[in-house]
Amino acid sequence: MKPLEVRNLTIQYLTYRGWVDVVSNVDLDIDDKTEILAVAGESGCGKTTLGLAIAGLLPSNARITSGYIKIYGKNTESSRVAVIFQDALTSLNPILTIGEQIAEIYVHHFSMTRSEALEEARRKLSEVGLPDSYVNKYPHELSGGERQRALIAMAIALKPELIVADEPTTALDVTTQAKVLKMLRSIVKNQSIPMVYITHDLALVAHVADRVAIMYAGQVVEYRDKYSLFNKPLHPYTRALLDSLPRVDVEVRELRAIKGEPPLPGVFAKGCRFNPRCPQVFDKCLVEEPGLRAVDNGLVRCHLYA
Amino acid sequence: MIDSTSRTLREVLMVKRVRYGVIILLSFLALSLIVVFFSPFQYDQISYNVHYPPLSPSSVNWPYIMGTDNLGRDVFTRTFYAYILDTGCGLAIVSLSGLIGLIIGLISGYLGGLVDLVLMRIMDIVISIPGFMLAIAIAAVLGSSIVNAVISVVIVTVPIYARLVRGMVLSVKESLFVLAAKEAGLSTVRIIVKHVLPQVTPIFITQLTMELSNAIIYIAALSFIGLGAQEPVPEWGLMISTARRYVREAWWPAVLPGLIMFLTVLSFNLIGDGLRDYLDPRKKLSVRETS
Amino acid sequence: MARNILQYVFYRLLQSILSVFGAVVIVFILSRVLPGNPAAAILGPKATPENIARVTREWGLDKSYLEQFIVYFSRLIRGDLGDSYIMGYNVSRLIAERLPASLELVVFAFALSLVIGVTLGALAARKHDTKLDLALTSLSVMGFSFPTLLLGVILLILFGVNLGLPVGGRLDARFTVKTYTGLMLIDTLLNGNINAFIDAFMRIIPPALTLAIPLSGLLVKLTRNSVLEVMNQDYVRTAKMKKLPEKVIMYKHVMRNALIPIVTIAGLYFAVLVTGDVVVETIFAWPGLGRLVWEAVTLRDYMVIQGSVLLVSIIYITVNLIVDTLYVYIDPRIRG
C-alpha cells in the first residue's frame, strides 16, 4: 500500500466570482516510507491548498469536486497526517504552554495521564533540540526558530503516517533554516515517516527532496525525481524557475525573473495555462491544453515533448 | 464624485440590515409628518372629561389609533410628535458632541505633546465617571429642561469621539502620504482637511450612527427620572414615566410609545451595525489561499 | 516576567488614583456651580438662616475655592460625604444602606446574561450562516436595542398583572428577615424562611431580566463574532490537525481564546451596572442606589446626588482596575 496516492484531485474555492479551480486534476504518489516529495511553485499555484487537502484541513469555503486522496489506502479522515505550518507563531495557541499543546496529543491519542504526557512532551522537545524546561513557556516567549522546532515536536508527537511541511522555514534565517531542514530530513529517514514538502524555493528542494512536483496554475506541470529534474529540466516553467535561482557555479550578470504574473485562481489562459509567460510558446499551446506525458524518470505537461 | 457616492449608497443599501433600518426610519418620519400636519388632535389637547377611563387602542375608538392617556390625550399624536423631538435631540447630541470631539481629537492627535496630554487627561477623567450618572449630576445642577438634558449628554459623550478621532489621526499621521504632504510643505490645516479627514470620516460616521441610539436612550431616561422634558411636552421617557403610574389600568400609554422608541433605536442600530460590517475589510469574502 | 506584571498593575493603580482624583474635582466643581446660594441649594426647603450659616461654616463656603476644595477633600478622605438635610441622614450611611440591594440585583442579572449570552453566541458561531444563526443574531440586535424603559414596563405588566406574581421591592412587608449580608436571597435562607426566599426570588426576576435581556443581546453578538474569528485562526487548524475531540477543540482552544475580549467588555459593563440602574430600580421600586439617586433627583437633594456620583465613580474605577488586573492572568501575552 502506498503512503500517499492522490488521483485526479480538483479543489475549488468560493470567491466573488463564484466557485473557481485552485487545484486541477492533480495526480501524485509517495511510494516509499522514507521518501520526501517536494511540491514547488509560485504563490497562488495551489500548493498550500493541496497540502491542506492531504491533511484533511480544507477551510469551509473550499470543496473537492473530483478525485481522491488515499493515505495507506485510507481516506484523510481516518488517517493521521501531521502538518508543519509556515507561520509557527499563529499556528500555536497563544494562551497554552508549549508543553500543554504537545501533551494533549498524548492525553487524547495515547490515553496517558497529564503528568505522563508532560513527561513525554519534555522528551519530544529535547528530540528537536529544545531545552525540556520549555514545556512551561508560552509561544510568544520563544524565538522564530524555536517555535518552528516546537511545531515539529508537536508533529512527530502525533506519530503520523505522513507529514505535510508547508514552507516551514521561510520565516527563518539561513543558518536556522539549514538546521531545521536537516532535522526534518533525519526525521523522515530515521523514523520512516514520509513527507510532502511544500515550497516556492527550488534551492531548498535540491537539499530536501527525493522527488519533485512542479505546480503551475493548479496543475502539476512536471513530476520527476530530483536528479533528473535538476540535471535536465524539461518544462519551460521549470527551466525559468531554475534560471531565476542565484547560482555560485556560473557567473550571471543579472538574476532572471520569470516575466509576467502568475494567474489568479480560476482565471487561466486557454490552451496551456502557462502560454502567456512561456518563452517557447507556439500555435498549439494557444488552443489545446497539454496532458501529462511520460518522459525519462517522470512526467511533463508540455506540447514540446509530444 | 456624485456617481461614486450614489454607487456607495446603493452598495450600503444592499446590506439587508441597513435596508430594514432605513425602511423603519423613513416610515416613522412619514408618520410624524402626517401627524404634525393632518392629525385631528393637538399633542396637548386634553379631553379628560370626555374620555375617562382612557380609551384603549381599538377600531371602536377611531380615530384614537393608539388610544388615549389618563388626560384623554391622543397617544398616537403624542408618540409621533415625540419621534421628532427625541430623534431631533439625538441628532443634536451626536452632531454637537461629534463636532466637538472631532475638533478635540484632531487637535490632540495632530499636535501631540503637552496639548495632547492635557486634553486627553481631561477626556480620561470624564470617561472615568459612568456616563449616565455624570449626565444626571450635570442635568441636576443645570435644572430640569430638555435643552439642559441635551447639554449634559453632549458633555458626557464628547470623549468617545475625541479618543476615536485621536487614535485614527495618530495612525494616519504616520502614514506615508501625510509624511509626503508634510515634505511638500503643506500647512497643518490643509493636511488635516485634505488628507486626515477623508481617512477618518467613514469610521467616524459609523460611530455617530451607533451613538445616535444611545443618545435617544439617554434623553428618554433623563426625562423618565424627571431631569429632561416636562409636561405637557410629548417625549417618550416622560410619557412612559407618567403612564407607568396607572399601568395596571391602561398599558397602552406606556407600552406603545416605548415600542415606537424601541423600533427607532433598532433602526439606528441596524443601520450603524450594517455600515460597520460594510466598512470592515476583514468581513469581506476572500480566497484564503497563501501558497 | 513577574516584574512586568507588577509594573503594569502599579501603572494602572496610579492611573486609577488619578482618575478618582479627577472625579472628585468634577463633583466639587458641580457642587459649586449650583444655582443661587450653594448652601441654600444643599439645604433645600429646610433652609433657615441659622442652617445656611452652619453649612457655610462647615464647608467653608465663604472662603476661596481652593480652601473650599481642601475642606471638601479632607472630609472626603475621612469617608464623610456630608449630611443630607433633606433626607435627614449622613450621605455615606444612606448609600451604604442601599448598596447591597443594587449589588444583589446586578450580580444576579449579570450571571444570567453571561450564561445566556455566551451560550447562545457560541451556538450561533458554530452554526454560522444557517437559519438558527440568523434567528439568534436578529434576536440579539433586538435585545440590545430594547430600552430598559420599555422592557421594565412590559415585564412589570407581564409578571405583575398578567401572571399575578409579586412585583416591586425586594420582599413582601409581611416577612421580617434579620439582616446578615444585606443580600435578600441569602439572608432569607440564613433565616431559614423558605417562603420569604421564594418571594424574594420572584421579585428579583423581573428587574434582573430587564437588565439581562439587553446585555445578553450584546453578549450574543460579541461572543458570536469573537468565536467566529478564533475559529478561523491558524492555531485552531493546528488543533484540528491533532485530531483532538470536537469538544476539546471547542472549549480548550476556541472558547478560551474567544472569551478574552468578552471578559474585557463584560467587565466594563459590570463596572457600569454594579452601582445599580436608575431606570430599572425606579420602575420596580428596588431600594438600591439607583432608586436613591432618583429619589434625590426628585427631592433636588444635591448632597445625595453628588455623593452617589462620586461613590459610583470610585466603584467603577476600582472594578475596572480589578478587571484589567485579572486580564493579565487570563492572557499570558500581556505578562511577557
User: Are the C-beta atoms of C146 and B262 separated by less than 8 Å?
Assistant: yes
* Contacting A residues, span 247-276, partner chain B, CB-CB under 8 Å: 265
Q: What is the mean pLDDT of residues C201-207?
A: 95
Q: Do C332 and A95 touch (CB under 8 A)?
A: yes
Q: B2-290, what's its fold?
A: MetI-like fold (1.10.3720)
Count the domains in chain C: 1
Shortest Cα–Cα distance, C15 to chain B (Å): 10
The rounded distance, in Å, linking the Cα atoms of B62 and B75 is: 12
Highest mean pLDDT, choosing among A230-234, B70-74, B180-184, C266-270:
A230-234
Q: For position C233, which CATH number holds?
A: 1.10.3720.10
Per-residue pLDDT at B64: 74
Please report whether residue C85 resides in a domain. Answer: no
Per-residue pLDDT at B50: 65
Q: Does B255 touch chain C (CB under 8 A)?
A: yes
Is the alpha carbon torsion for A107, A113, A117, A120 positive or negative?
A: negative
Three cell numbers at B73? 390625550
Residue-wise pLDDT tens digits, A232-256: 999 999 998 888 877 666 555 555 5
Is the alpha carbon torsion for A187, A190, A194, A200 positive or negative?
A: positive
Chain A hits for B288, CB-CB cut-off 8 Å, are 13, 59, 61
The CATH code for residues A4-80+160-305 is 3.40.50.300
Q: Which residue of C has its CA nearest to B247?
A: C157
pLDDT of C88 over the 90 cut: no
Chain C hits for B265, CB-CB cut-off 8 Å, are 145, 147
Per-residue pLDDT at B289: 33
Rg (CA), chain B: 23
Per-residue pLDDT at A254: 52
Nearest Cα to Cα of residue A213 among A228, A13, A1:
A228
**What SS3 class is residue A92?**
coil
User: Are the C-beta atoms of A45 and A218 separated by less than 8 Å?
Assistant: yes
Q: List subunits contacting chain B, requiring 3 or more Cβ pairs under 8 Å.
A: A, C
For residue A263, give the DSSP letter: P
What residue segments make up the domains of chain B, in order of their start?
2-290
Please report whether residue C325 resides in a domain. Answer: no
For residue A25, give the DSSP letter: E
Under the banding of pLDDT at 50, 70 and 90, the label for residue C119 is very high
Which is higher by pLDDT, B177 or A237?
A237
Q: How far is CA C275 from CA A204, A306, C238, C324, in A?
A: 63, 82, 44, 19
List CB contacts of C67: < 8 A, sequence separation 6 or more. C60
Nearest Cα to Cα of residue B288 among A217, C116, A59:
A59
The rounded distance, in Å, linking the Cα atoms of B86 and C68 is: 39
Chain B hits for C141, CB-CB cut-off 8 Å, are 17, 266, 269-270, 273
Chain A hits for C233, CB-CB cut-off 8 Å, are 90
Is the alpha carbon torsion for A13, A17, A21, A22 positive or negative?
A: negative
Q: What is the mean pLDDT of residues A165-184?
A: 87
Q: Do C316 and B128 touch (CB under 8 A)?
A: yes
Q: Does A13 touch chain B (CB under 8 A)?
A: yes
Name which of B125, B224, B266 is nearest C141 (Cβ-Cβ): B266
Q: Does C254 touch chain B (CB under 8 A)?
A: no
Least confident window among A167-171, B138-142, B176-180: B176-180
- Check whether the bond before B232 is cis (ω within 30° of 0): yes
Chain A hits for C252, CB-CB cut-off 8 Å, are 96, 104
**What SS3 class is residue B231?**
coil
Under the banding of pLDDT at 50, 70 and 90, the label for residue B196 is confident
Q: Does C161 touch chain B (CB under 8 A)?
A: yes
Q: Does C137 touch chain B (CB under 8 A)?
A: no
Residue-wise pLDDT tens digits, C13-70: 888 898 889 888 888 888 888 777 777 777 777 778 888 888 888 777 788 888 888 8
Residue-wise pLDDT tens digits, A110-150: 999 999 999 999 999 999 999 989 999 999 999 988 999 99
Which is higher by pLDDT, C194 or B283?
C194
Q: What is the dihedral angle through the alpha carbons of C225, C231, C232, C237, rounded to the nearest 10 degrees?
A: 170
Please report whether residue C257 resides in a domain. Answer: yes
The runs of H, that is alpha helices, within chain C are 2-32, 38-43, 49-58, 65-77, 91-126, 131-145, 148-155, 184-190, 194-231, 234-241, 246-248, 256-273, 278-283, 289-299, 302-330, 332-335
* Contacting B residues, span 136-155, partner chain C, CB-CB under 8 Å: 136-138, 140-141, 143
Backbone φ and ψ of A163, nearest 5°: -115, 135
Residue burial B16-45, b: 16+ Cβ < 10 Å; e: rest: ebbebbbebbeebeeebeebeeebebebee
Q: What ipTM was assigned to the predicted interfaces of this complex?
A: 0.88
Chain A hits for B290, CB-CB cut-off 8 Å, are 43, 48, 86
Q: What is the mean pLDDT of residues B100-116?
A: 90
User: Are the C-beta atoms of C182 and C100 separated by less than 8 Å?
Assistant: yes
Per-residue pLDDT at A161: 94
Q: Do C149 and B224 touch (CB under 8 A)?
A: yes
Give the whole-number percent of chain A exceeding pLDDT 90: 61
Q: Does C2 touch chain A (CB under 8 A)?
A: no
